[in-house]
């Protein structure tokens, strides 16, 4: 079973403001240079899509209403949604904030046939959380995902195992995972535009055309996808980035934004019980040239103070920048579980003090919201350079 929440961020906002229902709405920051995070289906009718620049969305749908995102609110609702899933089955693989795969084979005796389980799940999410959800049910993850896509919005589609191949062979080749625009063009030159045509092509021919991808899509064309639902999904990286409303050349502002991103990233690391051994900095200049730099550490960290210090060092090591910065990002990689992770003890107690302070921040934010308390340098949106002689790292009060 693949469950996908419909226009999730917009749907959550509608709970707080029912006047948004039935209107053209998008969730995004109020800046032509930001991107659409979520769009109502009324806005999508005009061609508005997620990840589209807000400026482009406004040109397509000038009357659209823009709602500022509240990521903490969406995370809380996501947790509640996943809680409903786990009450149906303990085999839940969350793949994003608003979608998951469920293996309901073991719940059939208790809850009924898969179609009944799908209906019950949608009813519970609507009744308990007030949100719409689309469910696709099939014999494999791949086909269940296609089923939910075809059932949107707020729908339910079951593909019985014996109908899997016939269903797939009725679809365009772009329905297959791994067939993007470039691969589609390669296949089109060979006269392949449908899944049925691809399935009828010898696997050796597909391998010569597309390499390893050819064999992969050929298996999918016949409904072969043996991957199980995996309840524990290990994050490969955690990070955040920000696109500025206006290009920034001021180092103080860039370092302050890195501090904001470091706190967002560190909170996610701690929430997931993870630590990072590698910190990466991403810069995109005004001409869209993008570069990344990274640094690896001997021990894993989950402290914003440490992440910020490494990111600032990477930024300063770049030297004078050729032009102003359009986007800045911080990402943590080489993630390890917190339990039992090796941790290098510091002779200077300040580092452990910052770690304890940040964990206290997590508790405050969970109870009172992210705006309740934060780094002094970021209060009021005004960055200040660190005072000379400050002994503390550039963390909570740097």
Can you tell me the distance from the alpha carbon of 272 to that of 234, in angstroms, rounded to the nearest whole number? 10
Q: Check 13, 14, 24, 99 and give the catalytic one.
A: 99
Residue 68 bears catalytic tag: no
| Cβ neighbours, 10 Å, residue 75 | 13
User: Is residue 294 within 8 Å of residue 333, measured between CB atoms?
Assistant: yes
**What contacts 57, CB < 8 A, 6 or more positions away?**
26, 28, 36, 39, 43, 48, 64
* Ramachandran bin of 381, using left for φ above 0, alpha for ψ from -120 to 50, beta for the remaining angles: left
Can you tell me the distance from the alpha carbon of 397 to that of 361, in angstroms, rounded to the nearest whole number? 13
- 98 marked ligand binding residue: yes
Can you tell me the distance from the alpha carbon of 305 to that of 372, in angstroms, rounded to the nearest whole number? 19
Whole-Å CA distances, 114 to 81, 132, 133: 19, 19, 16
Whole-Å CA distances, 354 to 100, 189, 220, 358, 368: 35, 59, 50, 6, 20
**What contacts 140, CB < 8 A, 6 or more positions away?**
164, 223, 224, 225, 226, 227
- 247 marked ligand binding residue: no
User: Is residue 199 within 8 Å of residue 215, measured between CB atoms?
Assistant: no
Can you tell me the distance from the alpha carbon of 142 to that of 226, in angstroms, rounded to the nearest whole number? 9
Can you tell me the distance from the alpha carbon of 101 to that of 92, in angstroms, rounded to the nearest whole number? 6
Tokens (6 digits) for 180: 């993007």
Whole-Å CA distances, 23 to 11, 42, 131, 306: 12, 6, 16, 44
Computed from CA positions of residues 48, 53, 54, 59, in that sequence, does the dihedral angle turn out positive or negative? negative
Could you tell me what percentage of the chain is helix, strand and coil, using 3-state DSSP and rounding each to the nearest 5? 45, 20, 35
Paired residues of 136 in beta bridges: 2, 157
Active site residues: 99
Feature table: binding site for Mg(2+): 4, 98
């Amino acid at each position: 079973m693949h469950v996908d929440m419909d226009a999730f961020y917009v749907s959550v906002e509608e709970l707080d403001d029912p006047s948004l229902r039935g209107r053209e709405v998008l969730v995004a920051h109020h800046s032509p240079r930001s991107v659409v995070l979520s769009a109502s289906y009324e806005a999508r009718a005009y061609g508005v899509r997620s990840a589209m620049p807000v400026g482009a969305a406004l040109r397509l749908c000038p009357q659209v209403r823009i709602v500022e995102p509240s990521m903490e609110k969406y995370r809380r609702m996501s947790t509640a949604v996943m809680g409903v899933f786990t009450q149906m089955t303990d085999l839940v693989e969350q793949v994003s904030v608003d979608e998951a795969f469920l293996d309901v084979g073991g719940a059939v005796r208790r809850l009924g046939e898969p179609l009944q389980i799908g209906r019950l799940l949608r009813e519970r999410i609507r009744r308990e959380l007030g949100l719409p959800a689309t469910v696709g049910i099939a014999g494999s993850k791949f086909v269940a995902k296609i089923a939910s896509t075809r059932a949107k919005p707020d729908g339910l589609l079951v593909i019985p195992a014996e109908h899997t191949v016939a269903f797939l062979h009725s679809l365009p080749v772009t329905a297959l995972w791994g067939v993007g625009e470039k691969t589609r063009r390669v296949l089109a030159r060979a006269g392949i535009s449908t899944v049925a045509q691809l399935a009828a092509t010898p696997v050796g021919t597909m391998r010569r055309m597309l390499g390893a991808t050819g064999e992969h899509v050929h298996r999918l064309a016949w409904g072969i996808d043996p991957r199980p639902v995996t309840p524990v999904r290990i994050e490969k990286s955690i990070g955040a980035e920000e696109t500025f409303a206006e290009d920034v050349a001021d180092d103080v502002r860039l370092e302050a934004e890195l501090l904001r991103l470091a706190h967002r990233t560190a909170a996610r690391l701690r929430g997931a019980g993870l630590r990072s051994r590698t910190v990466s900095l991403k810069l995109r200049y005004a001409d869209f040239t993008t570069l990344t730099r990274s640094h690896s550490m001997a021990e894993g960290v989950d402290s914003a103070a440490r992440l910020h210090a490494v990111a600032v060092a990477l930024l300063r090591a770049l030297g004078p920048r050729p032009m102003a910065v359009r986007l800045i990002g911080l990402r943590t990689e080489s993630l390890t579980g917190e339990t039992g992770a090796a941790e290098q003890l510091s002779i200077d107690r300040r580092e452990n003090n910052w770690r304890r302070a940040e964990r206290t921040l997590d508790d405050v934010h969970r109870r009172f919201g992210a705006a309740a308390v934060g780094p002094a340098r970021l209060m009021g949106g005004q960055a200040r350079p660190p005072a000379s002689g400050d002994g503390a790292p550039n963390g909570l009060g740097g």
